[in-house]
C-alpha cells in the first residue's frame, strides 16, 4: 500500500538518508575499528557504544528506505488550485465562535508536526476539511465537543 507524502517530506527523508549513509556510517565504522584496537572487546565500552549506535543508524536507514519505497509523493504546487482542500494544501481556518484564525498544511502521517503547523491527513481536522471549499463551515469533533471552523483560504504552496 502506498502512503501519501508531500514532496518536501520526501526530500527531507532523502537528505537524512544521504547523511546517515555518507557521514554517520563511515564515522561509526571508524569508531568500531578504533575501539577494536584497544583490546578486549568484552569490557570495551567504546566498542559496545559504537556497535549500539551502528544498530540504531542501520535501523533508521531501513526505516527511511521503507517509507520512501511506500510513499506516493504528491507535489501540490503542480496541481491546479480549485479552492478545494486536498492532500498537501495549506489551509487557513477560523473558529466560528472566537474568530481565531490558524494555518495548517495537510501532510502525511510521518510528516505531521503541530509545532510546524503540519497536521496529518488522518487527523480529525484534516478529515473534516478534505474536499471542502473556501467559505464553507465544517464541524470538527474534538475532545472538548464539536467546534465549527470556517475555511478562509486554501493555498497550493
Domain count across the chain: 2
- Kindly give, in sequence order, each residue whose CB lies less than 8 Å from that of residue 51, ignoring residues fewer than 6 positions away: 32
Residues 53 and 89 in one domain: no
Tell whether 49 and 109 lie within a shared domain: no
Identify whether the C-beta of residue 111 lies closer than 8 Å to the C-beta of residue 7: no
Q: Same structural domain for residues 80 and 60?
A: no
pTM over cut 0.85: no
Do 69 and 31 share a structural domain?
yes
State pLDDT tens for residues 29-51: 998 888 888 777 677 788 888 89
Task: For residue 54, give the nearest of 19, 29, 78, 74 by alpha carbon.
Answer: 29
Nearby residues of 122 by Cβ (< 8 Å), 6 or more positions away: 109
What digits encode the pLDDT tens for the residues 80-129? 998 899 999 999 999 999 999 999 999 998 899 999 999 999 999 999 99
Element (H, E) at 35: helix 25-37
Q: How far apart are CA 149 and CA 129, in angstroms?
A: 9
Cα separation of 116 and 104, whole Å?
A: 8
Say whether both 59 and 121 belong to one domain.
no
Q: Are 107 and 6 in contact (CB under 8 A)?
A: yes
- Chosen domain end from 74, 94, 121: 74
- Same domain? For 54 and 88 the reply is no
> Side by side, which strands form the sheet with 101-107?
118-120, 101-107, 90-95, 145-155, 137-142
Which residues constitute the domain of residue 9?
A: 3-74
Amino acid at each position: 500500500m502506498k502512503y501519501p507524502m508531500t514532496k518536501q517530506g520526501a526530500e527531507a527523508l532523502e537528505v537524512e538518508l544521504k547523511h546517515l549513509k555518507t557521514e554517520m556510517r563511515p564515522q561509526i565504522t571508524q569508531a568500531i575499528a578504533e575501539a577494536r584496537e584497544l583490546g578486549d572487546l568484552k569490557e570495551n565500552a567504546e566498542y559496545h557504544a559504537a556497535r549500539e549506535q551502528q544498530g540504531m543508524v542501520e535501523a533508521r536507514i531501513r526505516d527511511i528506505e521503507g517509507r520512501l519505497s511506500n510513499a506516493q509523493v504528491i507535489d501540490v504546487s503542480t496541481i491546479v488550485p480549485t479552492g478545494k482542500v486536498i492532500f498537501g494544501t495549506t489551509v487557513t481556518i477560523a473558529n466560528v465562535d472566537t474568530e481565531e484564525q490558524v494555518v495548517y498544511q495537510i501532510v502525511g502521517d510521518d510528516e505531521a508536526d503541530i509545532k510546524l503547523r503540519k497536521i496529518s491527513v488522518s487527523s480529525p481536522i484534516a478529515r473534516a476539511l478534505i474536499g471542502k471549499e473556501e467559505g464553507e463551515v465544517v464541524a470538527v469533533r474534538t475532545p472538548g465537543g464539536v467546534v465549527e471552523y470556517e475555511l478562509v483560504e486554501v493555498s497550493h504552496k
